[in-house]
Amino acid sequence: MRLAALLAGLPPERSALRIEGEHADDTPIRGIAIDSRAVVPGDLFVALRGSAVDGHEHLQQAIDLGAAAVVVERIPAGIDLRGRPAVAVRDARQSLAPLAALFFGHPSEELSLIGVTGTNGKTSTTYLLESILAAAGRRTGLIGTVEVRYAGEHLRSVNTTPESLELQRLLRAMRTRGIDAVAMEVSSHALAIGRTDGCRFEAAAFTNVTQDHLDFHETMEAYRLAKTRLFREHLRPGAAAVVNLDDPAAAEFLAAARDGGGRPICVARKPGPGVDVAAPEAHVGLGGTRVRLRLPSGPLEFELPLLGDFNVENLLVAVGVAVGLDIPASAIAAGVESCPQVPGRVERVDAGLPETPTVLVDYAHTPDAVDKLLRTVRPMTRGRLITVFGCGGDRDRTKRAPMAEAVARWSDRAIATSDNPRSEDPEAILTDVELGLRRLRRVEPADLDGVDASYSCLADRRAAIQLALGIARGTDTVVIAGKGHEDYQIVGRERLPFDDRIEARRALAGKLRTR
């Protein structure tokens, strides 16, 4: 593709401010790169400004490796372009998405692309959707927090929603491999910085919005507005726009769907006027949930293998999308019943040993998610509810105390520990967390077992898990919250191997060896 043809795909507000260099129109572009180290001859290098790295500082490396042209916001002093065209734009990141979409031939237009946004529930909802679509005979792909998978490929996720260049590359690869339907998590961050620009969704869904990511968005209003962009800016005409009416922000998303030309589909726990999909009955247990839904086509009853009352809400959203895509009720039921365990989402850790406590690992890392998780687990706990949790460093500090308040509200024992401390002092994070634990009594770790309604602080997450499992009895339930599927812990700039599920199994095995 010639550079001129590629640049012609930029919308007017993102068009080039100027182009330096000769014969720019005729320059052939064989690929696009945003990592200067990965440039190969013929690539268009787009210099992005990140929080830690600025691509403009690596412009010379990209040119030396053979970049045919560069897209920049500025040209640093001392750069030798070697006659290569330099395209100046206002915002390189905002320009990247339309360039990538055009370069890869707008793959989203060839797919049934389904986007799910919301603070909590995106991963479980997309897993349910993937299973329903497969039961309906569709060849499916999945893009989300845990992984990217399609046609036998399993790729580790770096972000919930990939950078726009990688996203367009993935969608083209999926289409090339015969995929026709993709369930995709869409984060507020991705919507705000334009990663999904160039994508057109056949269906979009909203789960809920509660406090999270205020370190980036700063206000809840900005956070909600970012999420509504999925409905307002990215829908195909007449696309199904599924909204959870039980969330207080539902009206904003319905308005955004109408503004974006979508076809609203409303879901709620209780049937009522304007509700397309409801769940009048749901019986939740440790083995799963028996659910009876009310669809436009009539009632539908089945077993939901995912644990937790909150998963009924995720189910409603997934089924709402299925209804919007005209998937038969039989395929909906078959898909839901065959949905696999979502990694790190109320995942039961079974050491295969008798008389051990129930151990659940979950990704809950917001006040609302923690509250819903523990509120669900509490009535199913025969003995004590012991919760291990932490809050991430370099993230929204204002949610730390509310998360701890939710833990204190439902737990008999709590252990506050590290999550991913990143560059923050773990002890300083725990100081913030403790503000929310005041209804419990602080005790030393050695005294935790013997004092009702108590908590301890233990920055070492491995030691915290061992303590929780060490004091847990066979009738107790231990919830390890915050990291879920993650198999690492970020300490400083290092990503160290760490998996809550593995640590819990080790602690259970050690517990039995000492009996």
pTM (predicted TM-score): 0.92
pLDDT over 80 at 124, yes or no: yes
Q: How far apart are CA 148 and CA 169, in angstroms?
A: 12
Tell me how far CA of residue 251 lies from CA of 65, 219, 227, 256, 369, in angstroms.
51, 19, 13, 9, 22
The predicted pLDDT at position 27 comes to 92
The domain segmentation of the chain, as residue ranges, is: 3-95, 107-337, 347-513
The predicted pLDDT at position 351 comes to 61
The predicted pLDDT at position 237 comes to 96
Q: What is the pLDDT of residues 31-55, one digit of tens each?
A: 999 999 999 999 999 999 987 789 9
The predicted pLDDT at position 424 comes to 97
Which fold is adopted by the domain 347-513? Protein-Tyrosine Phosphatase; Chain A (3.90.190)
* Band of pLDDT at residue 131, cut at 50, 70 and 90: very high
Q: Give the neighbor-by-neighbor strand order of the sheet with 31-33.
A: 18-20, 86-88, 69-72, 43-46, 31-33
User: Which residue has better confidence, 26 or 97?
Assistant: 97
Output phi, psi for 443, to 5 deg. -135, 165
pLDDT over 90 at 220, yes or no: no
Asked if 118 contacts 207 with a C-beta cutoff of 8 angstroms, the reply is: yes
Q: How many helices (H) and strands (E) does the chain have?
A: 16, 25
pLDDT over 90 at 20, yes or no: no
pLDDT over 70 at 92, yes or no: yes
pLDDT over 80 at 480, yes or no: yes
The predicted pLDDT at position 515 comes to 62
Handedness of CA 288, 134, 136, 180 (dihedral sign): positive
* Band of pLDDT at residue 153, cut at 50, 70 and 90: very high
Average pLDDT, the chain: 94
Q: What is the pLDDT of residues 423-461, one digit of tens each?
A: 999 999 999 999 999 999 999 999 999 999 999 999 999
SS3 (DSSP) at 406: helix
pLDDT over 90 at 154, yes or no: yes
For the domain covering 3-95, report its CATH number: 3.40.1390.10
Q: What is the pLDDT of residues 382-426, one digit of tens each?
A: 999 999 999 999 999 999 999 999 999 999 999 999 999 999 999
Q: What is the pLDDT of residues 318-351, one digit of tens each?
A: 999 999 999 999 999 999 999 999 999 999 997 6
SS3 (DSSP) at 374: helix
- Give the residue-averaged pLDDT of 494-515: 88
Q: In terms of DSSP bridges, do strands 454-457 and 477-481 run parallel, antiparallel, or are they unpaired?
A: unpaired
Which superfamily does CATH assign the domain made up of 107-337 to?
A: Mur-like, catalytic domain (3.40.1190.10)
Q: Which of 108, 136, 106, 109 is nearest to 318 (CA)?
A: 136
Detail the DSSP E strand segments found in 16-85. Answer: 18-20, 31-33, 43-46, 69-72
Which residues have a Cβ under 8 Å from the Cβ of 456 and sit 6 or more positions away?
414, 415, 416, 442, 443, 444, 445, 447, 448, 467
DSSP 148: E
